């Protein structure tokens, strides 16, 4: 645990008692603060009280008298589309609003570091897509390099739940726009921006607000090194704002679409090869094409970002390449679960929208594609442009027939995962890839994309 510093003896309100809220309450208590908790859900309040925390209805008049700060969980809106009434009351009372990320950066460094040979460092990753894979890959590289490392944030443990860092340790954080938007302290040593595509627009009042939330990690934090994906205009703009000029190597530009150059520091992937350039010269190259845990251009972008982050903390290219080759990927994200009789089985249940499914389809050839579910707005028109490698689709979901009618490939209505997997496996030939990339949410049949992916794995496993 990271005990919260700077609030000892003060009453601090905690709104939302899920994982991050309870973690914040524990860390506040460990640092000598007096947490006062609230959640609209009585069961959540019961859990907090069972741990000995006081619960106070923060909606009542005068609730913020003598409160030093309000800590808000990520799922609770603080500004758009409208502030939660408790947040509004805190702001009206002049009480600062923060979250667990702000508390972490406020409290991470301690006097014990004076005895360290190498100060611990924080690598924080944000962006729309690829954050989890990029973070997991950085953490895997650190372990392969025998550097102590912990993984936290939206992946792994809560930021305040991690152990106090060791000498030279690297903390890898996955941060969402909800987290970067509100944190009062953001001071990573290395900050990574993967990419930007529309998401959470209601919470940020549009694309500009969404980008602004991501940008805070760099503008507010002032990292020693900024790694910026420049395949979108926003990334190019951010890199330009942070850099003092073309040769400023505090900014590392990353691309999975464009050959980069110039006198600065850049990492890019083209035709399956990752290249690192610095001061106009190539200093390293890695062939990514046969690395099973990183298939497709979207994973090559993740590899470039992770490579740049690892290089920023002194890891050698050969060590990074060796780590790439032992990276198994994350569950439900382009995860190879089996290979048998020349057929590869890939679980990408996290591909819950058209864009992510299109990237999954672009990563493979000779695909037997399991898709369908609770369709999102916008239709499947953009997805059809990515189906050139699809031999046949096997459609699941309660509205499988309507989903199948929108596809421009041979499609079989299966409805259930069991039927889809059985049909795909019966028809698969050596060289084929049986790919679950639903292009839809899971909630018509499953309570999460993870449960859907687990069902796919179970059905494949029992037939092999």
Residue where the block lists tokens 């460990």: 30
Count CA atoms within 13 Å of residue 151 on its CB side: 16
DSSP label of 341: T
**Peptide bond before residue 81 is cis, with ω within 30 degrees of 0:** yes
| Residue 434: strand pairing partners | 345, 368
SS (H, E, C) 186-237: CCCCEEEECCCCCCCHHHHCCHHHHHHHHHHHHHCCCCCEEEEECCCHHHHH
d(CA 53, CA 22): 9
Minimal CA–CA distance to 190: which of 167, 221, 232, 150?
221
- DSSP class of residue 112? G
**CA–CA separation, 267 and 314 (whole Å):** 15
Annotated binding residue at 133? yes
CB 35 within 8 A of CB 29: yes
Residue 345, exposed/middle/buried by CB under 10 A (0-12, 13-18, 19+)?
buried
Determine if residue 214 is labeled as part of a ligand binding site.
Answer: no
247 among annotated binding-site residues: no
Binding residues, as ranges, are 127-133
Residues placed in the known binding site for ATP? 127-133
């Amino acid at each position: 645990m990271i005990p919260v510093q700077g609030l000892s003896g003060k009453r601090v309100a905690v709104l939302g008692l899920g994982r991050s809220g309870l973690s914040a309450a524990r860390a506040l208590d460990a640092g000598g603060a007096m947490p006062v908790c609230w959640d609209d859900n009585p069961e959540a309040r019961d859990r907090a009280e069972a741990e000995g925390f006081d619960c106070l209805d923060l909606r009542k008049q005068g609730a913020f008298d003598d409160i030093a700060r309000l800590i808000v969980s990520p799922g609770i809106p603080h500004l758009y589309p409208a502030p939660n009434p408790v947040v509004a009351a805190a702001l009206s009372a002049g009480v600062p609003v923060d979250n667990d990320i702000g508390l972490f950066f406020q409290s991470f460094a301690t006097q014990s570091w004076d005895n360290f040979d190498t100060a611990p460092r924080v690598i924080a990753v944000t962006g729309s897509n690829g954050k989890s894979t990029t973070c997991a890959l950085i953490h895997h590289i650190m372990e392969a390099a025998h550097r102590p490392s912990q993984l936290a944030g939206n992946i792994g443990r809560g930021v305040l739940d991690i152990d106090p860092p060791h000498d030279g340790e690297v903390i890898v954080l996955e941060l969402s726009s909800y987290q970067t938007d509100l944190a009062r302290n953001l001071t990573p040593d290395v900050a990574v921006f993967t990419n930007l595509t529309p998401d959470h627009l209601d919470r940020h009042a549009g694309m500009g607000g969404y980008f602004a939330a991501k940008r805070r990690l760099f503008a507010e934090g002032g990292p020693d090194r900024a790694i910026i994906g420049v395949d979108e205009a926003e990334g190019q703009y951010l890199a330009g704002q942070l850099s003092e000029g073309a040769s400023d190597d505090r900014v590392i530009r990353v691309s999975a679409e464009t050959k980069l150059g110039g006198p600065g520091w850049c990492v890019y992937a083209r035709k399956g090869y990752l290249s690192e350039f610095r001061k106009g010269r190539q200093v390293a190259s890695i062939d990514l094409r046969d690395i099973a845990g990183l298939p497709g251009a979207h994973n090559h972008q993740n590899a470039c970002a992770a490579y740049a982050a690892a290089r920023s903390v002194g890891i050698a290219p050969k060590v990074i390449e060796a780590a790439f080759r032992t990276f198994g990927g994350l569950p439900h994200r382009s995860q190879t679960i089996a290979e048998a009789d020349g057929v590869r089985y890939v679980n990408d249940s996290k591909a819950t929208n058209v864009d992510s499914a299109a990237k999954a389809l672009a990563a493979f050839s000779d695909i037997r594609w399991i898709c369908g579910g609770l369709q999102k707005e916008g239709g499947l028109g953009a997805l059809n442009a990515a189906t050139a490698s699809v031999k046949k689709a096997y459609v699941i979901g309660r509205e499988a027939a309507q989903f199948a009618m929108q596809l421009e490939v041979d499609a079989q209505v299966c409805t259930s995962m069991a039927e889809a997997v059985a049909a795909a496996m019966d028809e698969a030939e050596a060289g084929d890839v049986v790919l679950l990339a639903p292009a839809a949410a899971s909630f018509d049949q499953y309570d999460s994309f993870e449960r859907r992916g687990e069902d796919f794995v179970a059905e494949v496993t029992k037939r092999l």
